[in-house]
Structure 1
Amino acid sequence: MKKKIGILFPHIHENATEDEKDVLVQVKAISKAIRKLGFNPVPVNFDLNMEAVAIALRKLKPAFVFNLVEAVNGCGSLIHLAPSLLDHLRIPYTGSGTEAMFITSNKLVGKVFLEANGIATPKAYTLSSLKKEVPAKGEYIVKSVWEHASIGMSQESVFKAKRASEIISRLEKAEKRMKGECFCEEYIDGREFNAAILGGSDGPEVLPPAEILFVNYPSGKPKIVDYRAKWAPDSFEYLNTDRYYDFGPEDKMIIKSIEATAIKCWNLLALKGYARVDFRVDESGKPWVLEINANPCLSPDGGFAVASALVGLDFSMIVKRIIDDI
């Protein structure tokens, strides 16, 4: 009899947004890969009724769980509840553990760890810190503390400010709009990269880094991967952002630095299975870590799969490597 594998994913309501529905594509693709590997995948919904989830998992008795929970009830701040429950039930699972998931999902906490270990990350400000700190005049970008996948981010997120009161005003408006805690960080006006990392029995491997090219962006339009660039297929932003992997010798040191920093982030936070580190590179060639995603998108047409294919890994091989790192 084939071993049962639980595919844990968040409950998707009927009015779900595109970023929320993407997990269903991942469930289908990973279930197919797991069957190919000789297991019997069984989808399991995760929501705030964790007693019911626990009962379902105990009844299933899976050999392990493939954790695809990216948010709970639409809230990224609850992402760590899934690995925490699995720890409590003593069920092995893919991906990073509870502590790493919490640290990386809260961008401000993640920045504290990065700064304490000498990893460059843009200076951040919150409504609370602005009562004590006086930011320099410059350009900033507003982000959600907890939400990933560019949720809440738009072209209007980038702004110039001369004084703290202007930043405070932006943050207050953003928190009302996004109904959650926000922060702003110094905007790095440069190139954007990301580096996918894949675990396995032989340790982590940095896959070929990707640069995001902002094609046909007019002068003055912020070159950022905002929500429209990720999730609105008919938008200018989506149609004019391309991944680029073919770097020349002039970028050798930048790519080398990105790869080394990605591994440092992996080891620092004890990541497992798979992850992605997002960067901006300033005009001097210095990489700055924007954030670490401990469970990035695993859709077959996503950046992680594309980078894996460049080193000869098909989708089933990706899934096997993630399982091998449990």
Structure 2
Amino acid sequence: MEKSFCMNSRKISILFCRPAGMAGADDQDTLYQAETVSTALEELGYETRELEADMNLVEFRRTLGTHRGSLIFNLFDPSAGEGRFISLFPHILEQEGIPYTGCSADALYLTSHKIISKRMMLRQGIPTPFWYEAGGLAAGTFFPGRYIVKSVWEHGSAGLTSDSVVEVSREEELDELLAASGRGFFAERFLSGREINIALLSDGKDSWEVLPPSEIIYSGKDEHNPFLDYRAKWDESCESYQNSLRSFDFGSDDDPMLQQLTAIARECAGLFSLNGYARVDFRMDETGQPHVLEVNANPCISPGAGFPEAAAKAGVSYQEMIERIVASSGGTR
């Protein structure tokens, strides 16, 4: 982890992307997240201001100049379809020498580009599902069976539907699917085993506290096709949303598995130089072996989301979680 720094000012600016009027639930959650983080900071005695991410970069840099002397609490989450810009504003902050919370611009870029992150994990010996790219580029040995077609950049289940999981018997079928999907998609072998998340929070001593693990439990018809598409993740009226529940209950027989997942999560944190807070998402294969689906360098911290819930299970209040994220902020990077 990066070294923490001493912040003399009690001023913090909240960097976020204001959603458009017709934005989806995931984009609207960004606004809720900014509001709740701001409230927590003010209750902790900080003076907060809004700093909206403006794609007019000349105007953004001008506005940014009025926020010098403040720490930037980075909650920038691009709108749907713009995931590749995840590291844009952190890069600007670094160029301007302005400190901010969370992971560095490089870490955000590397982990958000799913293929780059999978290649890095593969080289490191970290297990990740076999994948297939347009043009026949593949990693590992092709297996006939189920694959999930997903975006290289988008996160929060954006773009995923019940039709995203497909059954294929030949590599050529994957080529056809990716050609039909357009640029920016790849196919990943679908693992139908247990889905477990490991959340990491700075402990204030340049190392990580591993928060209690959580598992997504699927029931009903979703038990046979267990994954969170967009509606299952965000639409509370959807049956799949109601059939996908978060659980923190594990038995003692799960201890060896959880120790293995914790070790892999820590290895991912080192590989991508993560800082402040992060989450590593796992899926088990048919033999019970874990695979990293994704390293999330800016997990949602809205109340009720998985990360704050894991913190609460560890006895860490929402305010304390925010304070620890602030305390772990790197200086100019």
Q: Which TM class, normalised by the smaller chain length?
A: over 0.9
User: What code does the residue aligned with 1:322 have?
Assistant: I
- For each residue in 1:263-284, what CA deviation from the matched residue of structure 2 results, as whole angstroms up to 9, or x when unmatched? 1101111001111111101233
3-state SS in 2 of match to 1:317: helix
- For each residue in 1:293-313, what CA deviation from the matched residue of structure 2 results, as whole angstroms up to 9, or x when unmatched? 100101011111110001111
Q: Is the 8 Å Cα contact of residues 126 and 182 (structure 1) preserved in structure 2?
A: yes
3-state SS in 1 of match to 2:181: helix
Give yes or no for the alignment of 1:18 onto 2:25.
yes
Distance 2:90 2:105 in 1: 5
Structure 1 residue 324: deviation in Å? Answer: 1.2
1:71 corresponding residue in structure 2: 78
Would you say how many aligned residue pairs link Structure 1 and Structure 2?
321
User: What code does the residue aligned with 1:6 have?
Assistant: S
More divergent stretch after superposition (68-77 vs 263-272): 68-77
Distance 2:311 2:161 in 1: 29
- For each residue in 1:103-126, what CA deviation from the matched residue of structure 2 results, as whole angstroms up to 9, or x when unmatched? 001000000110010100001111
Pairing partner for 1:294 from 289, 294, 297: 297
- For each residue in 1:230-249, what CA deviation from the matched residue of structure 2 results, as whole angstroms up to 9, or x when unmatched? 11110011011111111111
Distance 1:164 1:93 in 2: 44
- For residues 265-304 of structure 1, what are the structure 2 equivalents within 5 Å? 265-304=268-307
**TM-score computed with the length of structure 1 as normaliser:** 0.94
3-state SS in 1 of match to 2:225: coil
1:149 corresponding residue in structure 2: 156
Structure 1 residue 132: deviation in Å? Answer: 11
Distance 1:218 1:64 in 2: 43
Percent identity of equivalent pairs: 38
Q: Is the 8 Å Cα contact of residues 140 and 184 (structure 1) preserved in structure 2?
A: yes
- CA pair 24-313 structure 1, distance change in 2 beyond 3 A: same
- Runs of 5+ consecutive residues of structure 2 not aligned to the other structure: 1-7
User: What code does the residue aligned with 2:151 have?
Assistant: S
Distance 2:279 2:25 in 1: 20
More relative contact order, 1 or 2 (CA 8 Å, 6+ apart)? 2
Q: Is the 8 Å Cα contact of residues 19 and 79 (structure 2) preserved in structure 1?
A: no
2:216 corresponding residue in structure 1: 212
- For each residue in 1:76-129, what CA deviation from the matched residue of structure 2 results, as whole angstroms up to 9, or x when unmatched? 001110110100111100011111110001000000110010100001111123
User: What code does the residue aligned with 1:208 have?
Assistant: P
- CA pair 113-33 structure 1, distance change in 2 beyond 3 A: same
More divergent stretch after superposition (199-208 vs 146-155): 199-208
2:5 corresponding residue in structure 1: none
2:147 corresponding residue in structure 1: 140
- CA pair 289-249 structure 1, distance change in 2 beyond 3 A: same
User: Which aligned runs of 4 or more in structure 1 are off by greater than 6 angstroms?
Assistant: 131-134
- CA pair 245-68 structure 1, distance change in 2 beyond 3 A: same
Distance 1:26 1:239 in 2: 22
Q: Is the 8 Å Cα contact of residues 254 and 285 (structure 1) preserved in structure 2?
A: no
2:260 corresponding residue in structure 1: 257
User: What code does the residue aligned with 1:310 have?
Assistant: K
**TM-score computed with the length of structure 2 as normaliser:** 0.92
